[in-house]
A and B are shown apart, each in its own frame.
Chain A
């Protein structure tokens, strides 16, 4: 069964404390994995797309990596404004456009 599992469900960090969020996936023939950030009461904001194992992408304090089974979103020296829910999704094998979503990780950065 095609599915995406994110862990942990919630993560509380002190400002400046680096950590990683995990996104495990089981899908036949990965064609794309996406990371989004969602603030409360807002739509998701696109962060990264990863296509093949070994690929890495960075944006400010965030770095996304991809293996054949999972993706990590590394957060370096986070700030309170990085607090949000981070969503992972993979492109569905049966569609060019549809995504299979994880449940998200709620990240809280305490000052």
Chain B
């Protein structure tokens, strides 16, 4: 149980375009999901907390107009990187809070490359 999927696993886009990443909890409902960014050889950096049916809470320094988060259902959260630039290239990982506990279950990640 507690499987989280992400789509796409890899995406290459041109500078100035927008990219949408989907995060789904496959076998459980997740009222809370998280979006992380991870640079090479570094640990996870929390970008935002996504709550179903309400606005996401962004961490300090994360531009909410650039990283749009929508948590429209109990099994789906999306992250849209708007007007992407090469510095947005990174590994983006989502997680979902397990039902009844504080454990986070992670998706496989999305490698974004902006050219």
Which B positions have Cβ atoms within 8 angstroms of A?
2, 4, 6, 32, 34, 42-44, 46, 49, 91, 93-95, 97, 101-109, 111
Contacts and interface: CB of A to CB of B under 8 A. Distances in A.
Nearest to A49: B103
- Interface of chain A, main secondary structure: loop
A42 interface: yes
A31 B42 CA distance: 24
Give the interface centre of A43, A96, A97, A98 by most chain B CB atoms within 10 Å.
Answer: A43
Given A97-B34, A98-B49, A42 B108 contact: yes
A43 B106 CA distance: 6
A8 interface: no
Contact of A41 (B2, B34, B46, B109): B109
B105 A46 contact: yes
A98 B106 contact: no
B109 A99 contact: no
A34 B97 CA distance: 13
Interface in A19-52: 31-32, 34, 36, 41-46, 49
29 contacts: A32-B102, A34-B103, A34-B104, A36-B106, A41-B91, A41-B109, A41-B111, A42-B109, A43-B4, A43-B93, A44-B44, A44-B93, A44-B95, A44-B106, A46-B105, A49-B101, A49-B103, A87-B43, A87-B44, A96-B102, A97-B32, A97-B34, A97-B97, A98-B46, A98-B49, A99-B46, A101-B44, A103-B43, A104-B43
